[in-house]
A and B are shown apart, each in its own frame.
Chain A
Amino acid sequence: MIKRICLSLFTVILFLSFSGVTGLSGEVKQDEKEVLELELPKPMFVGTPTNIRTPNLEKITGKRRGPFYVPKGTKLLSLDKPVTSSDMMPIIGEIEYVTDGEKSGEAGYYVELGPGSQYVQIDLGASYTMHAILVWHYHSQARVYRDVVVQVSDDPDFISEVKTVFNNDHDNSSGLGIGRDKEYIETNEGRLMDPRGVSGRYVRLYSGGNTSNDMNHYVEVEVYGTEVK
């Protein structure tokens, strides 16, 4: 009996000791842990970079845009259509440049609106079903326009029946809702937006400055569509 008790006690002690040891060893391991210090490469010291003052017309990134398919009979609706803006006193150029059909990137072909969030609005004269909207903000320089939002509506004040066809304002800084579209670098190809057949008479395009300055620019906007069936 005593022998059994002793054996049991020994087993318990052995078990407890073992657990204790392992527990202790676990604590030791925890104590011995440390933050893995990564040896990250330091910045290289280099001399003055190239000064670029003249426009660089080379494409910065991406491949040429592939074909974009639209229903037969789709036509350009926006050419020479009236344009209004949140800034009716442009700093450079005229609001009419937005739909005058001239897409050159040179000075004299773009309109410059004031800083912050600004829009231009095209009145197509009647409600149309839209199949493509093409926008050139400014393409003689590699830059990205911020908070680009394109909306379509039959209401000239954009209060009711507003349909958003493009929105890359991902932090909602313009207050028109969070957008999921990506930012893009301006090129001479312009940015093609797919309105997916929404209809409306007015197209409003917002932007909130760009990577070069706080101003907003438009070289041309083209709206393609068909008559509402």
Chain B
Amino acid sequence: MSKKVFAGLFALIVLLGLFFRFSQLDLRPMHHDEANQAVKFGALLERGEYTYDHFDHHGPSLYYLTLPLALASTGKDFADLNESTLRFLPALFGSGLLLLLLLLKSRLGSKAVLFSALFISLSPIMVFFSRFYIQEMLLAFFTLGFIISLWLSLDTKKIHWYITAGFMAGFMFATKETSLILFGSLLGALILLKFFYPSGSKSQHISPSLFSRNILFFLGAAFSVWLLFYSSFFHNINGLWDSIRSLGVYFKRAGEAGAHAHPWYYYLKMLAFSQYGNGPLWSEALVLVSALIGSVSAFTKKAKARHDAAFIRFVFFYTLLSTLIFYLISYKTPWNIIPFYLGMLVLAGCGISFLSDLCQKIWLKSAVLSLIFIGILNLGWQSWRANFIYYADVRNPYVYAQTSTDFLNLIRRVNHIAEVHPEHENMLIKVIADPHMIWPLPWYLREFKRVGYWAETEEAGTIAGTPVIISSIEQTEQIWPLIRDQYLSEFYGLRNEVLLSVHIRLDLWDRFLENRR
């Protein structure tokens, strides 16, 4: 394949990836977790405050890397911040994955890189979480960056690759403390590679000399990222110790998964084949099967001769180990697929390339590639469906504890009532619900100056007279006797099976109706 053809095709794939990732970023209502992170980021944006929380919300990189984007697009005011600005960051890192693949062109070959890029660009789950303001896509980028730079540093022994690998490793940990699983998988992959090193591979010098000067560059880069980010740029030195303590917290959580405990085959089922209720079928089996072929290809004589079989084996061992670990951890959420699925996507590209090379006859090659393209088109259609049609629908396998679209009607109603209230955004709003049932309200009510949150009605002081009360169904039972006939109550969907009530003082309601006429 000529350089020009490769560049043209790669550019097309990147454009496709950008389209899926950056179009209508504000379409899906903010998820509970996204809103948590957004409100935490708000404190950093407005007051420069960020303190690492070792119990939840993972590492600091998401917040600090959002900062320049937010300052450049919406400024320092948290109320002006919007969903598109926040989600721009994961979309950027999700797209960045495609560019990282260019570093593998000499190792895997043009065809494998193009197909891997096409899979990453169109994979429904990769697109879905590239449009989601959580750490996963940043972690995916730093992990792939680390895999590639680690390999190149061990292979070429060049200092700049050691430094890059160090930064990538540092950012992996600064993004998610649970990246320790990935470091473990990579170490395991290197050890396994020692035993199963292909003799005819292009990379013949993969021997980490632990005491070389270059290792110090690697450690220095990783250490500096950890030091700067976890100490909140020296504003919270305790954060460094907390980042170590967090490992115990997450280790415990992995075993006591509670509401997020799922069977070992949860991820496999989600990727291979899933259907909920009368919803459509979902499957990324094409990637799984292609990844399997790619893995096998690393152990064939043909692969040894043509591509860097050692690197493919390294990726295979990493994918195998990380997949096993994530399967064994009972705490499972759809976004935890990303770190190990990333390896599968790279291997899938190798698989298609191998399959194409295997078919000697033109008609056979055309037939196989045509079938694969139909599969890729289907993947693209699923991606469109997952991100632009079923983006908040429980029949989408990647939708998990997602805020329902009806919740936006609640916000619209509160805004309409504030318009007719003499104090507008200073209108008092009391939210009475369990903390698991209030998010993403703090994000959507960020323009309101007087919003209070209580878990129980008796803690919320005087109820009657409050202009707007938002409550969980459980608390609504307590509230109704206190506001009887003075309020109009409405129900709105927060999430699947979770409803919120909005109680609007009747004089405001009448004014609202009057205003509408």
**A53-B496, A61-B477 are contacts. A46–B276 as well, Cβ < 8 Å?**
no
Interface string of A194-229 (1 = CB under 8 A from B): 000000000000000011110000000000000000
Q: Does B406 contact A (CB under 8 A)?
A: yes
Q: Beta-carbon contacts of B418-452 to A below 8 Å, as 1s and 0s?
A: 00000000001001000111110110000000111
Q: How many residues of A contact B (CB 8 A)?
A: 35
Interface class of chain B by DSSP = mixed
CB contact list, A25-65 vs B, under 8 A: 38, 40-53, 56, 60-61
State A141–B496 Cα separation when bound (angstroms).
8
- B16 within 8 A of partner (CB): no
Whether A183 contacts B491 by the Cβ 8 Å rule is yes
In contact, A211 and B492 (Cβ under 8 angstroms): yes
- Chain B residue numbers with a CB within 8 Å of A182 are 489
The answer to whether B513 and A43 have CB atoms under 8 Å apart is no
Cβ distance B393 to chain A, nearest Cβ, rounded Å: 8
B401, B437, B439, B491 — which one has the most chain A CB atoms within 10 A of its CB? Answer: B491
Cα separation A51 to B428 with both chains bound (whole Å): 31
Q: A92-B278, A183-B489, A211-B406 are in contact. Are A61 and B32 (CB under 8 A)?
A: no
Residues of A within 8 A of B404 (CB): 211-212
Total A-B pairs, Cβ < 8 A: 118
Partner of B452, one of A41, A46, A48, A56: A41
B491 near A51: Cβ-Cβ < 8 Å: no
Instruction: Flag whether B93 is at the interface (Cβ < 8 A).
Output: no
Interchain CA distance A103-B168 in the complex, whole Å: 58
> B436: which A residues are within 8 A, CB to CB?
46, 49-50
Interface size on B, residues (CB 8 A): 54
Interface string of B63-98 (1 = CB under 8 A from A): 000000000000000000000000000000000000
B39 at the interface (CB under 8 A from A): yes
Q: Which one of B277, B278, B451, B499 lies within 8 Å of A40 (CB-CB)? A: B451
Known interface pairs A43-B441, A171-B513; A51-B473 also in contact (CB < 8 Å): no
Q: Which listed residue (B400, B452, B493) contacts A143, Cβ 8 A?
A: B493
Partner among B401, B405, B442, B509 whose Cβ is within 8 Å of the Cβ of A43: B442
Q: In the bound complex, do residue B499 and residue A38 qualify as a contact, i.e. CB atoms below 8 Å apart?
A: no
A213 to B498, CA, bound (A): 13
Q: Does A144 contact B (CB under 8 A)?
A: yes
- Is B450 in contact with A49, judged by CB distance below 8 angstroms? no
> A43-B442, A43-B453, A48-B333 given as contacts; is B56 within 8 A of A170 (CB)?
no
A77-134 with Cβ < 8 A to chain B: 92, 107
Q: Is the CB of B394 within 8 A of A43?
A: no
Taking a contact as CB atoms under 8 Å apart, the answer to whether A46 and B435 are in contact is yes
Contacts A43-B39, A185-B491: A49 and B32 contacting too (C-beta < 8 A)? yes
* Nearest CB on B from A133, distance (A): 21
Binary interface profile of B, 5-35, with partner A (CB < 8 Å = 1, else 0)?
A: 0000000000000000000000000001100
In the bound complex, do residue A45 and residue B497 qualify as a contact, i.e. CB atoms below 8 Å apart?
Answer: no
In the bound complex, what is the Cα–Cα distance between A30 and B36 (angstroms)? 41
Q: Which residues of B contact A172 (CB under 8 A)?
A: 513
User: In whole angstroms, what is the CA distance A105 to B377 when docked?
Assistant: 37
A60: chain B residues within 8 A (beta carbon): 473, 499
- A178 close to B (CB within 8 Å): yes
- Subset of 25 A-B contacts with CB under 8 Å: A38-B428, A40-B451, A41-B453, A43-B39, A46-B36, A47-B33, A48-B32, A48-B33, A48-B333, A48-B400, A49-B436, A49-B437, A49-B439, A50-B259, A50-B260, A51-B496, A60-B499, A61-B476, A61-B477, A107-B277, A142-B497, A171-B516, A178-B513, A183-B490, A212-B493
CB-CB nearest 7 A-B residue pairs: A40-B452, A211-B493, A50-B259, A144-B491, A44-B435, A43-B442, A51-B401
